[in-house]
């Protein structure tokens, strides 16, 4: 019993040190935070991809291409943070070699698509087919049940995705290493499943729950100009809060794959 208490205390102390490290890391260079924030702002507000008549000319095509490029650079920057963290770096990387960031973003997006979207589609189709074959009706399930199923699904595939990203970080961002299942499982075993589960939970809470709550709160602030549908809170959320959380969670993932003597 005492051993379990000491083990739990040790895990909590390590996670606490990771938290402090990630916060200090994310705030150590506000230029990177603001630069990433500008990228997020441009991709969120310069173009509305939901507009039915978005592409009306060459200028619109160029804008869409630029937005896609910047979105993938943002994803690639997150990967660069993980990659440099596992190598022992204590400073946020710069945005040098943007094309390299872009390709890292493309590769991580493919990994994300394979590990999340494809299984999600298969699960939904499987449940639908099971309902037809068995004659059962799952429509009576409560929102809580669907939420629980969603969280379990997220945690399982997010751990696989994290293992793939960490394995890629040790192999120069090679996309094939992101699908090397035996090595990914060895990486998860080495890092320890409980650590990856904790980071997955923290990611879920920080990026999806806390972030949305902060955004909703700040959105209530006054609009910047009457004819611009952007509030002061939207700018603060996108340019400061969102990039900080992105850097924080990327650093946190990298830290669980760093030897203790590097902390």
Q: What is the pTM of this model?
A: 0.81
Q: Does residue 115 lie within any of the structural domains?
A: yes
Q: Give the model confidence (pLDDT) of 96-115 as tens digits.
A: 899 999 999 999 999 988 88
Q: Does residue 1 lie within any of the structural domains?
A: no
Q: Does residue 26 lie within any of the structural domains?
A: yes
Q: Does residue 30 lie within any of the structural domains?
A: yes
Domain span including residue 207: 15-262
Q: Give the model confidence (pLDDT) of 80-97 as tens digits.
A: 999 999 998 889 998 989
DSSP code string of 76-120: HHHHHHHHHHHTT--S-----SHHHHHHHHHHHHHHHIIIIIHHH
Domain count along the chain: 1
What's the CA gap between 210 and 22, in Å, rounded? 16
Q: Does residue 41 lie within any of the structural domains?
A: yes
Q: Does residue 221 lie within any of the structural domains?
A: yes
Q: Give the model confidence (pLDDT) of 165-191 as tens digits.
A: 999 999 999 999 999 999 999 999 898
């Amino acid at each position: 019993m005492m051993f379990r208490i000491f083990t739990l205390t040790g895990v909590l102390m390590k996670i606490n040190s990771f938290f402090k490290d990630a916060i200090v890391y994310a705030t150590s260079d506000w230029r990177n935070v603001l630069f990433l924030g500008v990228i997020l702002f441009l991709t969120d507000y310069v173009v509305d991809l939901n507009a039915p008549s978005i592409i009306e000319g060459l200028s619109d095509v160029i804008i869409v291409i630029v937005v896609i490029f910047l979105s993938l650079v943002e994803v690639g920057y997150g990967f660069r943070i993980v990659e440099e963290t596992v190598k022992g770096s204590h400073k946020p990387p710069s945005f040098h070699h943007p094309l390299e960031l872009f390709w890292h973003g493309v590769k991580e997006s493919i990994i994300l698509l394979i590990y999340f979207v494809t299984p999600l589609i298969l699960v939904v189709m499987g449940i639908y087919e099971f309902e037809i074959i068995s004659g059962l009706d799952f429509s009576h399930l409560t929102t809580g049940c669907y939420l629980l199923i969603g969280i379990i699904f997220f945690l399982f595939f997010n751990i696989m995705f994290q293992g793939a990203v960490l394995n890629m970080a040790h192999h120069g961002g090679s996309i094939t290493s992101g699908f090397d299942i035996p090595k990914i499982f060895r990486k998860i075993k080495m890092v320890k499943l409980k650590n990856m589960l904790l980071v997955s939970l923290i990611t879920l809470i920080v990026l999806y729950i806390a972030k949305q709550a902060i955004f909703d709160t700040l959105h209530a602030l006054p609009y910047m100009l009457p004819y611009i549908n952007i509030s002061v809170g939207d700018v603060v959320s996108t340019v400061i809060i969102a990039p900080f959380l992105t850097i924080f969670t990327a650093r946190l993932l990298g830290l669980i794959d760093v030897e203790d003597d590097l902390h």
